[in-house]
């Protein structure tokens, strides 16, 4: 039996990779995809959008045609995702969310939706990145109390949020492990003459350039040595494949608020 999946916002860069990943996944059946009203890609064959040839399913602006889906996948925008959550609640549909940049209040809204439907919120659906989150927890427990912690991330010129959702999640994992409030200890930029570094802070540095898919590094630096934990993505397909893994897992999950650590079985 295959899990029936629909992709919301399927005409973008990530949407096209999601189409391809869904078609290639042996346990996923792609049944449709949406585009925003007025899109030039309305009524296009999904396979042709992804550049892999016609598959017989066309894009739609009418979500009612996606009711056959078991799970919907959303890598769109903050405003669109919040609307999609309400639609999924109304129709009791599971949802994988890869959209980033939500405020703390918006995340609470998403968590509340998990009381009604099964959903995964993942700032990064890459299996490798989620293994990195686990390694960050282990490292922070071992040496976080006495090292300077800095997070570097780089993405393509089109990315709108900064720092990336993945970088923020990295900082959150470290801060939670150390019993710190990220909102109080995060430093998002340095300029001019600054005071000596506060050892409790977690610094962030951001690069936006060219077609960088995604690079993230956490530095744990002491006097005389430093540990660097790095993940580099060379293709968006890694995120798309992770999203399919999440969709398959979510299809059998009860209502709840989950992340990729749940999907991968990495929680203690």
Catalytic site positions = 155, 159
Three-state SS for the chain is CCEEEEEECCCCHHHHHHHHHHHHCCCEEEEEEECCCCCCCCCCEHHHHCCCCCCCCEEECCHHHHCCCCEEEECCCHHHHHHHHHHHHHHCCEEEECCCCCCHHHHHHHHHHCCCCEEEECCCCCHHHHHHHHHHHHHHHHHCCCCEEEEEEEECCCCCCCCCHHHHHHHHHHHHHHCCCHHHHEECCCCCCCCCCCCCCEEEEEEECCCCCEEEEEEEEECCEEEEEEEEECCCHHHHHHHHHHHHHHCCCCCEEECHHHHCCCCC
């Amino acid at each position: 039996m295959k899990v029936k999946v629909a992709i919301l916002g399927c005409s973008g860069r990530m949407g096209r990779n999601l189409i391809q990943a869904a078609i290639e996944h042996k346990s996923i059946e792609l049944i449709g995809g949406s585009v925003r009203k007025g899109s030039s890609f309305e009524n296009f064959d999904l396979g042709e959008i992804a550049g892999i040839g016609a598959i017989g399913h066309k894009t739609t602006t009418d979500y009612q045609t996606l009711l056959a889906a078991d799970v919907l996948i959303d890598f769109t925008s903050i405003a669109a995702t919040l609307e999609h959550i309400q639609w999924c609640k109304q129709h009791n549909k599971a949802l994988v969310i890869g959209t980033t940049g939500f405020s703390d209040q918006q995340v609470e809204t998403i968590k509340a939706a998990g009381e009604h439907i099964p959903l995964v919120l993942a700032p990064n659906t890459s299996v490798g990145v989620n293994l990195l989150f686990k390694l960050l927890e282990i490292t922070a427990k071992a040496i976080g109390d006495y090292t300077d912690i800095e997070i570097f991330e780089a993405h393509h010129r089109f990315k709108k949020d900064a720092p990336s959702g993945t970088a923020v999640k990295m900082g959150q994992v470290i801060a939670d492990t150390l019993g710190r409030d990220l909102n109080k200890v995060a430093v998002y930029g340095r300029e001019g003459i600054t005071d000596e570094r506060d050892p409790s802070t977690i610094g962030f540095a951001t690069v936006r350039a060219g077609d960088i898919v995604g690079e993230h590094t956490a530095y744990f630096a002491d006097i005389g040595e430093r540990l660097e934990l790095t993940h580099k993505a060379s293709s968006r397909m890694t995120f798309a494949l992770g999203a399919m893994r999440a969709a398959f897992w979510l299809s059998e999950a009860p209502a709840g608020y989950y992340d990729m650590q749940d999907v991968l079985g990495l929680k203690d």
